[in-house]
């Protein structure tokens, strides 16, 4: 089991706002920044958020993120069918000297 955890699943209806949580510890989220990735099935992961809340160019502002202490969250507003994907949070862990990915959250758009 990863030292950084996410709920395995989440769901929402089109237009709704959904959040995905990411929980870690003092050696990872608590002391380093968090990134979020979207992976549509059969495609490569896509960087959605870095440095806790920064969006790369081209990522819609429907995607936002925040961090508090040892937890982070990704919010998707105005949910669309194409948002159906797996979402991963990641952070560097100072104790392990490694990038840690959480197990991923499968988002279903109902």
Are 51 and 89 in contact by the 8 Å Cβ rule? The answer is no
| Three-point CA angle 31, 44, 26, nearest 5° | 10
Q: Which helix (H) or strand (E) holds 53?
A: none
Query: How many residues lie near another protein (CB under 8 A)?
Result: 28
Starting at the edge strand that comes first in sequence, how are the strands of the sheet with 63-68 ordered? 18-23, 71-76, 63-68
Are 20 and 104 in contact by the 8 Å Cβ rule? The answer is no
Are 98 and 90 in contact by the 8 Å Cβ rule? The answer is no
76 binds another protein (CB under 8 A): no
Least distance between another protein and beta carbon 43 (Å): 9
99 binds another protein (CB under 8 A): yes
Among residues 78 and 94, whose Cβ is nearest to another protein?
94
Among residues 9 and 51, whose Cβ is nearest to another protein?
51
Least distance between another protein and beta carbon 28 (Å): 10
Q: Which residues inside 18-47 make contact with another protein, applying CB under 8 A?
A: 32-35, 37, 39, 44-47
3 state SS of 82: helix
- Contact residues toward another protein (CB under 8 A) are 2, 32-35, 37, 39, 44-47, 50-51, 56, 86, 88, 90-92, 96-104
């Amino acid at each position: 089991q990863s030292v950084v955890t996410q709920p395995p699943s989440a769901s929402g209806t089109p237009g709704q706002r959904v959040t995905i949580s990411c929980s870690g510890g003092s050696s990872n989220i608590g002391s380093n920044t968090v990134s979020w990735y979207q992976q549509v099935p059969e495609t490569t992961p896509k960087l959605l958020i870095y440095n806790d809340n920064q969006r790369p160019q081209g990522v819609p502002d429907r995607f936002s993120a925040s961090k508090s202490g040892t937890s982070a969250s990704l919010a998707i507003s105005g949910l669309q069918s194409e948002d159906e994907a797996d979402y991963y949070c990641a952070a560097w862990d100072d104790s392990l000297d490694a990038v840690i990915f959480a197990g991923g959250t499968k988002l279903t758009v109902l």
